[in-house]
Structure formats: structure tokens, C-alpha cells
Amino acid sequence: MKTYNEKRDFSKTKEPKEVPLKKKNGEERIFVIQKHDASNLHYDFRLEIDNTLKSWSIPKGPSTDPSVKRMAIPTEDHPMAYASFEGVIPQGEYGGGTVMIWDTGTIESNKHDEDGNIISLEESFKSGSIEVILHGKKLTGNFNLVEMKGGKMKGNWLLMKQDDAEADARRNPVSTQSKSVVSGRTLKQIEQEESEKEN
């Protein structure tokens, strides 16, 4: 798989360039979900793991219904700075289309070993089974992200809400809370405002 920087022409896109970055000890980890109106509308789910944003493309977006499994297709690591990117990637460039910060917040691993100790997100990612608590504005509580190890969908992952106090089968935040959590804008407003800036 080509890396993030290799896929992009930074003279054309305003997306941030990948630069090496080390996190300070004790600083909270983050997640971001970017709604991305590219050739197909999808939701990019990114978790801070190993000083980078491990990334999955979720065609239908996340669900708060614990009986629903959502396909999550792994994509290239994105730089930490990408978590604050909201704007328009020019048509013809990789991922051309509008990007909205649909949700963001902090995360913590909630996966435990037999002795009850927390297993790191790094180790969980490597094993293909992540249990994470999201502290977002739209999404909160426990989610599982699990790699499929066999069958036709091998290599893809599934995102599932755990059946906890924050689970809600009727909420459907993808359709009922469709705007940016940082700017309050719709995809259309982001697109319009960004193109006005250019002209």
C-alpha cells in the first residue's frame, strides 16, 4: 500500500503533510470520524495508535445499535494533524471531495488480559481486535473493532457498538446528527465556503 504522503500532491491539496511526531507522556489519545463525500460517501474512522491515525473507511458510518455490524475497510495511516482537517480536496486529487469532522474526542483501550490489566491499543491493533471507549460528542461508550481473519471479507474489519448504557438502537446518529462537530456546517456549506475562499 502506498503511504499517505506518496498518494498526495501537496502543491494541490490543503491536507496536512505527514511529519514525524512524538506524543507527550500522559496526553490523552484522540479519535476522529471524518465524513468524506468522495466518489462514494463514506466515514473515515481514525484512532490514535502508535503516534499515527490508524484508519478505516466505513461506507455506512458507525451505528449506536449493538445488533449492527458495520464494514470497516483499512486505509493508509494518516498523520495526527489530519484530525483537524475539514475542507475540500480538489477534484482529480486522491480522495477528491469534501471532508467534514463528523465526530472527535478522546479514546482509551478497554481490552483486558486474564489478570484484568489493560491491553494497549498498539497490541490490540496488531492482534486485530480492538475494544475502545470513545469520548466523542456524538459517539460515547464501548465499541469493538475486529479484523476478519478468513472468508471472502478477510482483511476487512467490523465496527460494533457494545451493549452498554450508551447503546441506542433507535438513535441513528449518521442521519439525525449529520453536521460537523467543530463548525456546525453541512457538507454543502463546507464546500461552498471553501470555494468562496479560493475565488
d(CA 136, CA 31): 8
- Collapsing DSSP states into helix, strand and coil, what is residue 189? helix
Residue 78 or 138: the one with the smaller Cβ distance to Mn ion is: 78
Residue 15 or 44: the one with the smaller Cβ distance to Mn ion is: 44
**In the complex, minimum distance from the CB of residue 112 to Mn ion, in angstroms, rounded to a whole number:** 32
d(CA 149, CA 50): 22
Residue 94 or 125: the one with the smaller Cβ distance to Mn ion is: 94
**In the complex, minimum distance from the CB of residue 144 to Mn ion, in angstroms, rounded to a whole number:** 22
Question: 56: closest CA among 116, 125, 117, 112?
Answer: 125
d(CA 32, CA 84): 8
Residue 36 or 185: the one with the smaller Cβ distance to Mn ion is: 36
Enumerate residues 6+ apart whose C-beta is below 8 A from 156.
71, 72, 73, 74, 147, 148
**In the complex, minimum distance from the CB of residue 199 to Mn ion, in angstroms, rounded to a whole number:** 25
Q: Which residues in the chain belong to E strands, given as ranges?
A: 29-37, 41-49, 52-58, 69-78, 87-89, 97-109, 129-136, 140-147, 157-161
**In the complex, minimum distance from the CB of residue 145 to Mn ion, in angstroms, rounded to a whole number:** 17
* Distance (Å) of CA 8 to CA 76, 95, 98: 12, 9, 15
d(CA 66, CA 55): 22
Residue 74 or 140: the one with the smaller Cβ distance to Mn ion is: 74
Residue 32 or 131: the one with the smaller Cβ distance to Mn ion is: 32
Name the closest residue to Mn ion (Cβ).
36
**In the complex, minimum distance from the CB of residue 54 to Mn ion, in angstroms, rounded to a whole number:** 14
Q: 150: which 3 cell numbers?
A: 478468513
**In the complex, minimum distance from the CB of residue 99 to Mn ion, in angstroms, rounded to a whole number:** 7
- Interacting residue ranges for Mn ion, rule: CB under 5 A: 36, 44
